[in-house]
Amino acid sequence: MADKLHATAPIGAEAISANGLRLALAPLAEAASLGAFAGSGRAELLACVRAEFGVDLPQTPKAVTTADGLVTFLWCGPSQWLALAPAEASGPSGASSGGQGLMARLRASCGAVCALSAQGDSRTALRLSGPGTRAVLSRLVPVDLHPRAFRAGDVALTLAGHIPVIVRHLDDQPEACELLVFRSFAASLFHDLHVAMTGHTS
Amino acid sequence: MSGAASHPKAGAQPMRVANGNAVDTSRTLHFTFDGRRLSGHPGDTLASALLAHGIHLAGRSFKYHRPRGILSAGPEEPNALVELRDGARREPNTRATVAELFDGLVARSQNRWPSLAFDALGMNGLLSSVLGAGFYYKTFMWPASFWEKVYEPAIRRAAGLGRAADEADPDHYEKATTFCDVLVVGSGPAGLAAALAAGRAGARVILCEEDSLPGGRLRAEHMTLDGAPAADWVAKACQALAAMPEVTVMTRACVFGTYDGGTYGVLERVADHKPVPAEGEARQRLWRIVARRCVVATGAIERPVVFPNNDRPGVMLAGAVRTYVNRFGVAPGRRAVVYTCNDDGLRTARDLARVGVKVAAIVDSRPEGTGAGAQVARDCGAPFFAGASLADVYGSKGVKSVLVRDHAGQAHNIACDLVAMSGGWSPNIALTTHQGARPDYREDICAFVPSALPPGMVVVGAAAGVFDTAEALGQGAQAGQAAAALCGFETALPDLPRAEPASYGIQALFHALKGVAAAKKGKAFVDFQNDVTARDIGLAAHEGFVSVEHLKRYTTLGMATDQGKTSNVNALALLAEVSERSIAQTGTTLIRPPTQPVAIGALAGAHRGPHFKPERLPPTHQWAMAQGAVFTANGLWQRAQWYPRAGEQTWQETVNREVRTVREAVGFCDVTTLGKIDIQGPDAAEFLERVYVNAWKKLPVGRARYGLMLREDGFAYDDGTTARLGENHYVMTTTTANAGGVMAHLEFCHQWLWPEMDVQFISVTDEWAQIAVAGPKSRDVLRQIVDPEYDLSNEAFGYMAARSVTVCGGQEARLFRLSFSGELAYELAVPARYGAALAERLMQMGAPYGIAPYGTEALGVLRIEKGHPAGPELNGQTTAHDLGMGRMLSTRKDFIGRVMAQRPALTDPARPTLVGLQPLCATDTLAAGAHLLPQGALATAAADQGWISSAAWSPTVGSWIALGFLANGATRLGEVVAVHNPLAGTVVNARVVSPVFVDPEGERLHG
């Protein structure tokens, strides 16, 4: 049999640094959507995730990350969550685990009580960081990004210009946000963020 | 302030007679106006710099081409509209009163030919009897064909409004959204006090000032606060605001509209005051500000007085004259007549006298003994006329004298070069009316004030009819305090400065005519920008246009770019008078956003040119680029349309080759763009039963089925295949165009119609790179890709099979045996990151079998040859019956659209139904959109029997072929019909055939 297929990054562009800001891909090793089934499924799903991952699924637009830093759960609708395993996440040992096996863990722990769909290639994560991150995002995203309203761990499902995005506030020191976008839109969003950072149209 | 003699630049700018509080005379800027080199200073507007040279004449009027001067000192300016800059940045209709001067500014007057001083079309004034109210409607009625060719071009040339740049705008525009607790609009005394109060409470405050400097009238008037010049207090207040971390002061930021939910539109002129924006800087920024509370402190706009020849250059608003004197240090004349109906106008005489301008007369419309006129006149050494009016103005290109009619009717001719007039102040209430509230008329101040306010808004200061500075400060502070408190931020009121009391004492003065309709000698203008006179209003009323809405449209009053800021109230007063009603009874038109002109560039922001819309790129996009593919837009998706090869002369040649490759060997095509929806849950099968017309419960795991969805109204909505991957797990495909719509449809059905169903959906369109591999050799190629443990034989993996497999040594994938081309075909899905590599691998492994990629054009030809409906057939007007799928409609279950699809009109057998068409002469072109007629029939709507929906040259059939809809189509196979293409002017005879042109028995796809 022939060699394995090689992966291609969703966009060809390199990371960009401008005006103290940095825009880069934050590759996902794996991601999965969780949709709780009806009846007791929702409560059971919460319990299953708590037992396997040690976190409570958020009930409002927020993100929680497991203690080992390997998996983040994002609220993205009533009874719906995204589980993300970033490629660069590292466990307590410092070794990069790459989150491999996320889907297997989810299937084993909560496959009976929720719909699971692989989403690791559906979404692309872009990370914008540096002082002025909020100001740059305000040129694309029509939600309140003020520190009083949008804190680390907060999530917004919204539009960046015309592109649907999930914005996650990572940290204030330094300012950093992650934007999850459908893979097919990644190049356009990268361009639009670049313009918002620099004022250049190309 | 210093007098004219002591000023160092007096020679260069003879009318720069004092130090204005906003002008830096230590630096000089150079600019040109109509080619003449002139100078000014930082802080000047184009208008103040022109006036510093004694230049009043700034443009010609819109209709009569009358010479016009600078009327105002702000954004309400109707006259001084100029063209700014050169080349790609040339911008017409810019108000000289708000255009900030910069070094090298090039400005030109407009609407004049050949020159501003001599204008050939000035004779329009002599034709005024035909150019009066409603002249468009009366004059250009006949013949209709003349409108486009003769009248409109002539009118446009005559009513030139400057020239837009020919080149694309080189500047960058931004849009942004921000939020605050309290938005304060306007930075006069009320606005500053509101911002200080709300800001000290800790609320998030944004203060928007449309001017380049904060202060409002505090900069324009000669007044003190706490005994010091008012501008000093403005500076202190701004320092205090700057020290508050949650307060943002935005200058050059005009709040132009009030929208739902506390949303305000704001235009920030970031770099309009610079020759060229700095590197990376936006020229303008469009803000959407969402505010919990809004304090409107937008001040007031002074009204002119309507009297004969009140539009002569040199006739100005009194408040504007004071602005030029106090803010810019410019005297707009040497001998002034002040004409007023209120004490505020009298301040003008004092300010002018202070800087050495001779006050030639004070004309006060109020009777002797009212107001402070007599005292002011004594102080200024000016003749005083109480109970008097201006009867005429002389001097066509600049005021030379005025005719004063005193209280006894005696006429006095008084030489002067400046008339400062005040009809009183109209609160600037535009933002309060954008949601439909009609303002109330207050007799005591002769002006409209806000009535019902949008939620969260308060109005303070002059905008609320409060013209006293001390009162405005207090009201502003209280409003700011209250607004912050309502957002949860409590505080004490800030210390406010002491202001001098000032009287107003207005008595209504809208015109100085003996009668509105009787105005014969000399035009008395109401609307300067649109050249509407008192006579026009009289005429309109005489012709029955007595509703304000009719008056506005008939006369065009208030419809120019200034929106009638200086004219509306006067017009209402005149209309009230001729129709013998009160102003309150007459009412007012509504003011719509934007309050100031907003450039389209700002509304578009960064979304222009190729970035007007985002693009969606399928996983093989880069690979296809490298293959030299030609792309087409399919909604937002960019898809390869065809893959030209060296030596191919036309796209048709390429497409023919791609079609033949699929029919004879094997081709592949990225079909990732089709919507893919993952459906899971115990009720998934039941859910599919309800959204599709056909049955789903018996579909076994590992199989796919074609499904058709109807809309609630019974028409066909979308189609695709859905595969059952597990007991309670399906993956649905949709058309590319309807992917988002179907997802929303499913969510609606679940959330609203059947919330009890236990089913979950999520889009996996982007997750899987899905590639169609089609052609007789497709199995042979896939045999090299799919891992050997999977049996691909026809017996093991027949038509419509679906399963998970691994490819290329263990990579998870999904394989479907689906065919859109009618050939033996598969769709192979791998996680999107491997899509490009899969394309490469297919090329490599398929080479021995003659593989080639094909684009959407060949895809279209293949499906037309096979009679498969697509977007042109599923156009929202066709039924399952029309599409030849009437028998798919299950009678054993309910589904969306079932009932409405049974309506007689939808089941009429005479409805046009899907047929194939083949021209009698193979090379006769068939075109989508052509109409089908009986042979020999006239091309009339009555004879129309259908249309062609899709057409292509078929290399397989060796002929043009088409799909179309023909009345009674199923019964007419073999008949010859006329195909009429009215665009090309052709009629082609074509035979009605089965829509399946290739392999009607379906042997190939089962092979």
ipTM of the complex: 0.95
> Which pLDDT band, with edges at 50, 70 and 90, does B63 fall under?
confident
Residues B771 and B707 in one domain: no
Express each pLDDT in B480-528 by its tens digit.
Answer: 999 999 999 999 999 999 999 999 999 999 999 987 655 566 799 999 9
The number of beta carbons lying within 10 Å of the beta carbon of residue B845 is 18
Work out whether the CA dihedral B878, B881, B886, B890 comes out positive or negative.
positive
Question: Which of B586, B601, B624 corresponds to the end of one domain?
Answer: B586
> Which pLDDT band, with edges at 50, 70 and 90, does B2 fall under?
very low
Q: Which residue of B has its CA nearest to A38?
A: B758
Instruction: Indicate the DSSP class of residue B778.
Output: H
CA angle B318, B319, B325 (to 5 degrees): 95
Q: Say if B605 falls within a structural domain.
A: no
Q: How far apart are CA B793 and CA B817, in angstroms?
A: 11
Show the tokens assigned to A68: 């080992």
Q: Say if B557 falls within a structural domain.
A: yes
Q: Which of B575, B578, B584 is nearest to B551 (CA)?
A: B575
Write out residues 117-146 of A within 8 Å (CB-CB) of B. 117-123, 138-139, 141-144, 146
Using CB atoms within 10 A of its CB, is residue A131 exposed (0-12), middle (13-18) or buried (19+)? exposed
Q: What residue has token string 């030849």?
A: B884
Residues B111/B161, Cβ–Cβ less than 8 Å: yes
Write out residues 734-773 of B within 8 Å (CB-CB) of A. 756-758, 760-769
CA angle B110, B111, B114 (to 5 degrees): 90
Residues B518 and B380 in one domain: yes
Is B619 in Cβ contact with A183 (below 8 Å)? yes
Residues B886 and B751 in one domain: yes
Q: Given strand B768-774, what is the order of strands in its sheet?
A: B802-807, B811-816, B825-831, B768-774, B667-670, B852-853
Q: With beta carbons under 8 A apart, name residues in chain B contacting A163.
A: 614
- Strand spans (E) along B190-283: 205-208, 224-225, 228-229, 247-250, 253-259, 263-268
**Whether pLDDT at B247 is above 80:** yes
The number of beta carbons lying within 10 Å of the beta carbon of residue B152 is 12
Express each pLDDT in B558-615 by its tens digit.
Answer: 888 888 999 999 999 999 999 999 999 998 888 899 999 999 999 999 998 889 999 9
Low-confidence winner among A115-124, B162-171, B762-771, B774-783 (lowest mean pLDDT) = B162-171
- Whether cis (ω within 30° of 0) applies to the bond prior to B214 is no
Closest approach of chain B CAs to the CA of A119, in angstroms?
6
Residues 6+ apart with CB under 8 A from B54: B14, B15
Q: With beta carbons under 8 A apart, name residues in chain B contacting A114.
A: 760
Express each pLDDT in B77-136 by its tens digit.
Answer: 999 999 999 999 999 989 999 999 999 999 999 877 667 777 666 656 556 655 666 665
Q: How many CA atoms lie within 13 A of A37 on its CB side?
A: 19
The answer to whether A40 contacts chain B (CB < 8 Å) is no
Express each pLDDT in B699-735 by its tens digit.
Answer: 999 999 999 999 999 999 999 999 999 999 999 999 9
Instruction: Indicate the DSSP class of residue B882.
Output: T
Q: Say if B899 falls within a structural domain.
A: no
Q: How far is CA A34 from CA A44, B369, B407, B869, in A?
A: 13, 84, 87, 35
Q: How far apart are CA B729 and CA B680, in angstroms?
A: 5
Residue A90 has a pLDDT of 46
The answer to whether A202 contacts chain B (CB < 8 Å) is no
Percent of chain B with pLDDT over 90: 85
Q: Which helix (H) or strand (E) holds A34?
A: strand A28-36
Q: Which residue of B has its CA nearest to A79?
A: B760
Q: With beta carbons under 8 A apart, name residues in chain A contacting B764.
A: 117-119, 122
Q: Which residue of B has its CA nearest to A18?
A: B280
Residue B559 has a pLDDT of 87
Q: How far is CA B539 from CA B133, B517, B532, B575, in A?
A: 7, 7, 11, 10
Residues B219 and B238 in one domain: yes
Q: Which of B610, B599, B606 is nearest to B176 (CA)?
A: B606
- Across the interface, which of B282, B758, B845 has its CB nearest the CB of A38? B758
- Across the interface, which of B177, B765, B836 has its CB nearest the CB of A8? B836
**Whether pLDDT at B9 is above 50:** no
> Which pLDDT band, with edges at 50, 70 and 90, does B971 fall under?
very high
Give strand pairing partners of B549: none
> Which pLDDT band, with edges at 50, 70 and 90, does B349 fall under?
very high
Give strand pairing partners of A126: A25, A179
Q: How far apart are CA B285 and CA B267, in angstroms?
A: 6
Low-confidence winner among B34-43, B410-419, B589-598 (lowest mean pLDDT) = B589-598
Give strand pairing partners of B458: B295
**Whether pLDDT at B1004 is above 80:** yes
Residue A94 has a pLDDT of 38
Residue B152 has a pLDDT of 62
- CATH at B811: 3.30.1360.120
Residue A116 has a pLDDT of 97
What does the buried/exposed string (b/e) look like for B353-389 if buried means 16 or more CB atoms within 10 Å of the residue's CB?
Answer: bbbebbbbbbbbbbeeeebbbbebbeebebebbbbbb
Q: Which of B387, B400, B862 is nearest to B658 (CA)?
A: B862
Residues B35 and B140 in one domain: yes
Q: What average pLDDT is seen over chain B?
A: 93
Low-confidence winner among A83-87, B4-8, B346-350, B586-590 (lowest mean pLDDT) = B4-8
SS3 call for B796: coil
Residue A100 has a pLDDT of 61
Residues B22 and B102 in one domain: yes
- Across the interface, which of B175, B618, B761 has its CB nearest the CB of A184? B618
Q: How far apart are CA A106 and CA A114, in angstroms?
A: 10
Q: How confident is the model over B332-341, as a mean pLDDT? A: 98
Question: What pTM did the predictor assign?
Answer: 0.92
SS3 call for B482: helix
Q: How far apart are CA B13 and CA B19, in angstroms?
A: 13
Residues B61/B530, Cβ–Cβ less than 8 Å: no
The number of beta carbons lying within 10 Å of the beta carbon of residue A202 is 9
> Which pLDDT band, with edges at 50, 70 and 90, does A153 fall under?
very high
Show the tokens assigned to A42: 């929702």
Residue A8 sits at φ, ψ, to 5 deg, of -115, 135
Q: Which of B774, B771, B785, B770 is nearest to B666 (CA)?
A: B774
Closest approach of chain A CAs to the CA of B766, in angstroms?
4
**Whether pLDDT at B229 is above 80:** yes
Q: How far apart are CA B479 and CA B184, in angstroms?
A: 10
Q: How far apart are CA B802 and CA B795, in angstroms?
A: 13
Q: How confident is the model over B330-356, as a mean pLDDT? A: 97
Secondary structure, 3-state, B641-694: EECCCCCCCCHHHHHHHHHHHHHHCCEEEECCCCEEEEEECCCHHHHHHHHECC
Q: What is the DSSP code string of B931-988?
A: EEEETT--S-GGG--EEEEEEEEETTTTEEEEEEEEETGGG-TT-EEEEEETTTTEEE
Looking at residue B302, its amino acid is: E
Give me the torsion for CA of B190, B193, B197, B202, rounded to 10°. 100
Its domain, for residue B323, covers: 301-424+504-586
* Nearest-10 crossing angle of helices B534-542, B568-578: 40
Write out residues 49-68 of A within 8 Å (CB-CB) of B. none
Residues B862/B820, Cβ–Cβ less than 8 Å: yes
For A30-118, CATH number out of 3.40.50.1000, 3.30.70.1520, 3.40.50.720, 2.30.42.10 equals 3.30.70.1520
What does the buried/exposed string (b/e) look like for B391-425 if buried means 16 or more CB atoms within 10 Å of the residue's CB?
Answer: bbbebebbbbbbbbbeeeeeebebebbbbbbbbbb
Residue A96 has a pLDDT of 40
Q: How far is CA B776 from CA B663, B773, B823, B1003, in A?
A: 7, 10, 6, 11
Instruction: Indicate the DSSP class of residue B832.
Output: G
For A19-26+122-198, CATH number out of 3.30.1360.120, 3.30.420.40, 3.40.1160.10, 3.60.60.10 equals 3.30.1360.120
Residues B320 and B455 in one domain: no
Residue A39 has a pLDDT of 81
Residues B77 and B31 in one domain: yes
Q: How far apart are CA B440 and CA B588, in angstroms?
A: 9
Residue B5 has a pLDDT of 38
Residue B259 sits at φ, ψ, to 5 deg, of -125, 180
Express each pLDDT in A44-103 by its tens digit.
Answer: 999 999 999 999 999 999 999 999 999 999 999 999 999 999 887 544 443 444 446 899
Q: How confident is the model over B419-430, as a mean pLDDT? A: 97
What does the buried/exposed string (b/e) look like for B238-254 if buried means 16 or more CB atoms within 10 Å of the residue's CB?
Answer: bebbeebebbbbbbbbb
> Which pLDDT band, with edges at 50, 70 and 90, does B470 fall under?
very high
Express each pLDDT in B138-193 by its tens digit.
Answer: 655 556 566 666 666 666 555 556 788 889 999 999 999 999 999 999 999 999 99
- Across the interface, which of A80, A119, A191 has its CB nearest the CB of B611? A191
Write out residues 164-183 of B within 8 Å (CB-CB) of A. 172, 174-179
The answer to whether B830 contacts chain A (CB < 8 Å) is yes
Residue B520 has a pLDDT of 60
Q: How far is CA B888 from CA B597, B881, B919, B993, B1000, in A?
A: 57, 9, 30, 22, 19
Residues B324 and B202 in one domain: no
CATH 3.30.1360.120, chain A: domain bounds? 19-26+122-198
Give me the torsion for CA of B964, B966, B972, B973, rounded to 10°. 0
Q: How far apart are CA B1005 and CA B1007, in angstroms?
A: 5
Show the tokens assigned to B338: 């002040």
Give me the torsion for CA of B188, B194, B199, B201, rounded to 10°. 160
Residues B180 and B286 in one domain: yes
Q: How confident is the model over B364-368, as a mean pLDDT? A: 95
- CATH at B527: 3.50.50.60
Q: Say if B166 falls within a structural domain.
A: no
Express each pLDDT in B851-897 by its tens digit.
Answer: 999 999 999 999 999 999 999 999 999 999 999 999 999 999 999 99
Q: Say if B600 falls within a structural domain.
A: no
Q: In the A/B pair of chains, how many CB contacts fall below 8 A?
A: 166
Express each pLDDT in B651-666 by its tens digit.
Answer: 999 999 999 999 999 9
Q: Say if B493 falls within a structural domain.
A: no
Looking at residue B230, its amino acid is: A
- Strand spans (E) along B327-470: 335-340, 358-364, 384-386, 389-394, 401-405, 411-415, 418-422, 425-427, 440-442, 447-449, 457-459
Percent of chain A with pLDDT over 90: 81
Residues B143 and B282 in one domain: no
Instruction: Indicate the DSSP class of residue B169.
Output: P
Secondary structure, 3-state, B297-335: CCCEEECCCECCCCCCCCEEEHHHHHHHHHCCCECCCCE
Write out residues 15-34 of A within 8 Å (CB-CB) of B. 19, 33
Residue B1006 has a pLDDT of 87
Residues B346 and B224 in one domain: no
Count of domains forming chain B: 6
CATH 3.30.70.1520, chain A: domain bounds? 30-118
Q: How far apart are CA A180 and CA A161, in angstroms?
A: 14
